Amino acid sequence: MYKSGYVYSDNFKLQYIVDGQGAPAIVVGSSLYYARTFSNSLRTKLRMAFIDHRGFATSNNCKDIKKYQLDILVDDIELLRKELGFEKFIMIGHSGHAFMALEYAKKYPTNVEYLVMMCVSPDYSDAGRHKAEQYLEESVCPERKAALALNLSRLPQEIEKVPDKAFITYCLLMGPKSWFNYNYDAKNLWEGVEVNMAMFDYVWGEVFRDIDITKNLDKLKVPVFLALGRYDYLVPPAYLWESVRGHFSDLTIRIFEQSGHAPHFEEPELFDQQLLEWLSKT
């Protein structure tokens, strides 16, 4: 059953797309982008709601970073949950959105039955980013590195062409860091997606850089599924999770061997199988 609509929060127009049948699940991020990346097969088991956060809100020109505090973004998820009529649900967050999903689960623990985090590191600090660069440097794939070097040389001029879409431009040109197939062109996934660069510069550049995910983690009692890609060079490497693993009451980690930054899209059958098996056993 498919439906879509909008919710207004403090003048931000947040779109949602609901598709599928089964256990309710909310995927935070861009409703358009994420609706394109999860499989149709998974929608036969889960009723998936893809929701915007303020950085992807339609016609958003707001540059006031006070409007993009993490706690406010979390409360927007709650507003959309109420609009959707979901009670206990599966909270899903990919990449930086995994932090939003985690913080929501901490703040509204009675609403979340399971938490799914994907392609994220517990540490987005400058030191963590250095480890990501080191991980790439130590990989033995000269073709991937050459493709990245070419894209990096194009990055400044491409951002200058469309500065208000710098986040999307960056994501597209970071393909060699993001995809198992480092030549994959993700342009179609981003079609029609709007971004607010003030939000992304602040949240990704400062909030996530300084976040301490262990804060209030004792409040998180729900099972957590963490999906990581072996060829994900966009975020700090998987081994950093060992330093915080003991803070989780129930954490399951799965590493997908032929994926980069999006195992749900790159290995959909295996991802769906692993996720659904975990849900059924937990």
d(CA 140, CA 231): 12
In the residue annotation, 97 being an active-site residue is answered as no
Bridge-based pairing state of the strands 23-29 and 89-94: parallel
Catalytic residue among 9, 232, 264, 272: 232
Task: Determine the angle formed by the axes of helices 166-173 and 142-161, rounding to 10 degrees.
Answer: 160
Backbone angles phi, psi at 240, to 5 degrees: -65, -20
Q: Is 211 left (phi over 0), alpha (psi -120 to 50) or beta?
A: beta
- Decide if 271 contacts 263 (C-beta within 8 A): yes
In the residue annotation, 201 being an active-site residue is answered as no
In the residue annotation, 53 being an active-site residue is answered as no
Catalytic residue among 95, 121, 178, 259: 95
What are the E-state strand segments in the chain?
3-9, 12-20, 23-29, 46-52, 89-94, 112-118, 224-229, 251-256
Residues acting as catalytic residues: 95, 232, 261
